[in-house]
A and B are shown apart, each in its own frame.
Chain A
Amino acid sequence: QVQLVESGGGLVKPGGSLRLSCAASGFTFSDYYMSWIRQAPGKGLEWVSYISSRSSYTNYADSVKGRFTISRDNAKNSLYLQMNSLRAEDTAVYYCAGSSSPWSPQWDYWGQGTLVTVSS
């Protein structure tokens, strides 16, 4: 069955870095556009970043532009999010999600999320 499993979350100090991973299985990962979406504690969903199926295109929310980098390795069926210069407001559960529709928030598949806490 389809699975997206995030890992790499944890506690990090402000200004620190963290790399999230998302392992995909049960579907043709290389055909899907992938995203990271986050949810601060008790808050709504916020789209973070998007990457095309062949890594040709990426884009980011203004709130993370210049600090976060999305990437993928289709040979390993994996998605990544490198997060630098972390701030307290980056504290959230980070979900990876997959869409078969280009540049569309039509995410068919979601992971269970990984919690990132930015605190001193």
Chain B
Amino acid sequence: QSVLTRPPSASGTPGQRVTISCSGSSSNIGSNAVNWYQQLPGTAPKLLIYSNNQRPSGVPDRFSGSKSGTSASLAISGLQSEDEADYYCAAWDDSLNGVVFGGGTKLTVL
């Protein structure tokens, strides 16, 4: 069972805005930065958002991240078919002295 809680699935139609949540605790999200990864089918994960709301170069501005207290969210606007993937949140956990992941949210573009 993952330390970070998330919805196992999400869906939307092309052009819609979708939000994926990630809930943790004071020892992880509450005190450390959240990063988001996108994993397309059959490929390695790719860094999508770092330090809660920063986008690496090359990541479209349709992707945005936010954090409040012990929860974080990933928003995808202008949904496209190529956004269909698994999305993971990750944070350092001070109590475990290691990295914790959310279990992954499978995004389906209808």
Contacts and interface: CB of A to CB of B under 8 A. Distances in A.
Contacts of B44: 95, 110-113
Nearest to A100: B50
Interface residues of A, number: 23
Given A45-B37, A105-B92, A111-B44, A50 B103 contact: no
A101 to B, nearest CB: 8
A44 B5 CA distance: 12
Interface residues of B, number: 28
Contacts of B56: 108
Interface in B25-63: 32-33, 35, 37, 39, 43-47, 50-51, 56
Contacts of B46: 110
A88 interface: no
B65 interface: no
B57 to A, nearest CB: 10
Interface in A88-117: 95, 101, 103-108, 110-113
Interface of A: 35, 37, 44-47, 50, 59-62, 95, 101, 103-108, 110-113
The 9 closest A-B pairs by CB, nearest first: A47-B99, A105-B90, A44-B104, A110-B44, A105-B99, A106-B50, A44-B103, A45-B101, A106-B35
